[in-house]
Structure 1
Amino acid sequence: MKNISIVGGGIAGLTTAIALEKIGLRPHLFDATTELHPVGAGLALSSNALKAYHHLGIDDQVLHAGHPLPGLRILDQRGDLISEAPVPTAFPNVAVHRADLHDLLRSQLCYTTVHLGKQATGFTTAGEAITVHFQDGSHFTTDYLIAADGIHSAVRQQLLPSSRARYAGYTCWRAVLENPGVSLPAATETWGVGKRFGLVPLSNHRIYWFACLNAAERDPQVRNYTLAQVKQLFQDFHAPVTAVLDATAPEALLHNDICDLKPLPRYAFGNIVLVGDAAHATTPNLGQGACQAIEDAVILGECLRASSVPEEAFRRFERKRLARTHYVITTSRRVGQVAQWENRWLIGARNALFRALPARLQERQLAWLDAVAFTGE
């Protein structure tokens, strides 16, 4: 194959590079940072992501870097159970610090040429050649381009100018800290009135927490909230929420609005293809953002293995991914809307309904996620 390049060195880009190496390719990878340093805190990888990493032969390393999750419990503000996700059987769920996963993926690269400090601003074409332009004024010419440059992808915005991140209606704070001595046998998410609080155990005796609040988009007051103000918002939540917030260092606090992409009509554009958040950024309510990016990487690699014509492989990848990723985006957005309800009567009815739902419905959802097939056919 001719030159193939990846823009974006996050989970999508790094996993894609590994998948390409597995089929004998030696891609170029470009990342905006001057060192491959991830932004973010913790994340949960569902069984479908572990299944994908098993296909690449690195699931054991991912499990070692993370903390197995026996399940996810949805609680009300008092701490009473609303719903509990079933435990997968074939491959486990695992919580991992984004930095740990990032370092692991980087360590797996053997033949990828990594270029740092290269933020893609767009591209031009001449015949079949693609020239990627970077913020520092440099450029690189390649035959095939994989855009893994995130929700604000410059490549996607050039291909689909109307596609922009859309606000989900709530904002989020996150942090990772040393466990202050609280018992956390499973991941939990507490649904309050227009706000939520999640707790996830990580490896090395750490905890990842996140807190969501209904707010206006890019609200300057909310954006500047201190940790003390976040504590005030969740002071009426059940234990151990307050204890975890009390143990959090102010400098550990991260904040961002929650956004996704309206489902796109296509991911393949001749010799260019979109993957990960550049293609189908989703809200985090199903825990599938990183998981779908990981699926992308493996399936794209298998499509390229199965076809001697990369443009056809990109089209085949698109056909295999559109419906599944569209479903994740749409369902995750709806779950977030329901979880962030503010009407107390509706909240009571919602919680009662969730408690009455038969377990087989959640098992069906789990089976759907696990049914992904990593083939290029």
Structure 2
Amino acid sequence: MNGSTVLIVGGGIGGLSASIALSDAGYDVNVVEIQEDLHSSVYGVGIIQPVNALRALDAIGCAEACMAVGYATTAWGQMLDVDGNLVREMPGARIPGSELPPMNGLTRPQLHRILTDKALGSGVTIDYSKTFTTLTDGPGGVEVTYTDGSANVVDFVVGADGVYSKVRPYVLAEDVEPVYLGQSAFRLNIPREPEIDRIILQHGPEGLAGFVPIGPDLAYLFYNTTWEEGRWLDQDSMADELRKRLAPFGGLTGRVRDKYVNDSSQIVFRPEEWLIAPGPWHNGRIVLMGDAVHAVTPHLGQGAAQAIEDGVVLAQCLSSHSGHEEAFAAYTERRYERCKLVVESSVQIGEYEMDPASHPDFDHAGLTQRVLEAMARPI
């Protein structure tokens, strides 16, 4: 099927990764992104790249560039108590025979620039301020009409358009909507304190504070907390709210709170949602990937990792099967249980963080380690 035309709806991490993998495999790839440019399509502050994400990025020629601008760690992280005392080391996982580190962190704009430059260099075309209006699948391809009034026929359509995917209804027989976990997260870029040389997790009485290095001199603070669904804060009240919620913390979190949590305009606030769509993840010539079928809460740092893996596996399956039905079925088979493990484990961690007393035997660090080891196995 090399030489076939592929339309990817969505120019985020998953869509760009898939575009590179498919273009490198010989497909003619066009990406449409509804946002107006590269920067407006970037959400959040920084991103965690576990070793399995780096392996997938290495497959599309982007891992070295990510590590060059980010912060590669020698271990996954540490867990601290509310006063900042060490509770447990979290070694993370490595891939046998590979020199890739357990984790790399970098800013989201840097990652998007790396993926965009690689995609364009691979021959992918990217159209911003554009998406589809209708998809009509048929024996000769998918007829696509676009928001700019144009139309064409492509061999395959990949829905990489996120948790509220507009492509998803063309694939799944039943409506699937994301589930709000009950938590929301504050995030803020800060100067990297010396001890933030890996992920640092600090449990508090009503939430979890954490730190991720994303450059030699840069890190980000996050705080996961129980939050009423539908309640939004005015942007100018973010710093006051976050300082109030971080008041019980000593140690690193208390120090960062007092030094850096002062500019509401720099704080990103997001609800934490999840979904795992039933298979198959395709219908005819239209296939889904990333958050469109497996939205992941951030507790294991695996959301982007799974989307990047999707793109690599999708290209492998299309290249190794003579028909698209067999290829897409193989893609779902290789991805479903792996993604389900990540989604469900992340939800378990979030539920524990919201109510530790109801989960007295829950092993946060142990579950994290088991999932990271599972992700280090071959895809």
Separation in 1, partners of 2:236, 2:20: 39
Deviation at 1:147, TM superposition (A): 0.7
- Equivalent positions of 1:284-363 (< 5 A) are 284-341=298-355, 343=357, 346=358, 349-350=360-361
Q: Which runs of 5+ in 1 are unaligned?
A: none
Equivalents in 1 of 2:356, 2:276: separation in Å? 24
- Counterpart residue number, 1:41: 45
Distance 1:101 1:318 in 2: 26
Task: Work out whether 1:149 is the aligned partner of 2:161.
Answer: yes
CA distance in structure 2 between the partners assigned to 1:257 and 1:363 by the alignment: 25
What's the CA shift for 1:212? Answer: 1.3
Within the candidate set 84, 88, 94, 1:83 is matched to: 88
Change (3 A) 1:178 1:193: same
Matched, 1:62 2:71: no
Which residue of 158, 171, 178 maps to 1:165?
178
CA shift for structure 1 position 71: 2.1
Take 1:196 and 1:122, find their aligned partners in 2: how far apart are those partners? 43
Question: Matched residues in 1 for 2:92 and 2:275: separation?
Answer: 29
Q: Give the structure 2 partner of residue 123 of structure 1.
A: 135
Give the AA of the match of 1:72: G
SS of the residue 2:167 aligns to:
helix
Task: Tell me how far apart the structure 2 counterparts of residues 178 and 136 of structure 1 sit (CA, whole Å).
Answer: 43
User: Residue 225 of structure 2 aligns to a residue in which SS?
Assistant: strand
Aligned partner of residue 106 in structure 2, secondary structure? strand
Length-normalised TM-score, structure 1: 0.89
Specify the alignment match of 1:366 in structure 2: 372
SS in 1 for 2:181: strand
Q: Which stretch of the first structure deviates more once superposed, 318-327 or 158-167?
A: 158-167
Determine whether 1:99 maps to 2:113.
no
User: CA shift at 1:259, angstroms?
Assistant: 0.3
SS in 2 for 1:54: helix
Change (3 A) 1:216 1:131: farther
Partner Cα separation in structure 1 for residue 151 and residue 190 of structure 2: 40
Match of 2:176, SS? coil
Q: Name which of 254, 257, 279 aligns with 2:268.
A: 254
How far residue 254 of structure 1 moved from its aligned partner, in angstroms, is 0.9
Does structure 2 conserve the Cα–Cα contact (< 8 Å) formed by 1:121 and 1:155?
Answer: no
- Quote the offset at 1:4 in angstroms: 1.0
Shifted more, 252-261 versus 301-310: the winner is 301-310
5+ residue gaps, structure 2:
none
Following TM superposition, by how much is the alpha carbon of 1:281 offset from its aligned partner in structure 2, in angstroms?
0.8
Tell me by how many angstroms 1:12 deviates: 0.1
Q: Relative to 1, partners in 2 of residues 1:36 and 1:173: Cα closer, same or farther, differing over 3 Å?
A: same
Displacement after TM superposition at 1:339 (Å): 2.0
Tell me how far apart the structure 2 counterparts of residues 309 and 141 of structure 1 sit (CA, whole Å). 18
Counterpart residue identity of residue 15, structure 2: G
Structure 1 residues 252 and 309: alpha-carbon distance in aligned structure 2, compared to 1, 3 A threshold:
same
Equivalent residue of 2:185, what SS? strand
Q: What one-letter code is carried by the residue in structure 2 that aligns with 1:151?
A: V
| Partner of residue 240, structure 2 | 228
AA of the residue aligned to 2:91: P
Displacement of 1:250:
2.1
Displacement after TM superposition at 1:133 (Å): 4.3
Task: Compute the RMSD of aligned alpha carbons.
Answer: 2.4
Asked if 2 retains the 8 angstrom alpha-carbon contact of 1:3 and 1:143, the reply is yes
Deviations 1:176-216 (A, max 9, x none): 1334x553232112222331111111214011111111011
| Contact 1:67 1:95 survives alignment (8 Å) | yes
Q: How many aligned residue pairs are there?
A: 364
Go from structure 1 to structure 2 and tell me whether the alpha carbon gap of 1:333 and 1:203 turns closer, same or farther (over 3 Å shift).
Answer: same
Structure 2 Cα separation of the partners of residues 194 and 71 of structure 1: 24
Shift of 1:83: 3.3
CA distance in 2: counterparts of 1:337 and 1:13, whole angstroms: 30
Correspondence for 1:26? 28
Q: 179, 198, 212: which one pairs with 1:200? A: 212
Q: Which amino acid aligns with 2:196?
A: L
Q: Structure 1 residues 130, 259: CA separation in 2 closer, same or farther (over 3 Å shift)?
A: same
What secondary structure is seen at the aligned counterpart in 2 of 1:57?
Answer: coil
SS of residue in 2 equivalent to 1:153: coil
**CA distance 1:25–1:230, change in 2 (3 Å):** same
TM, length-normalised to structure 2: 0.88
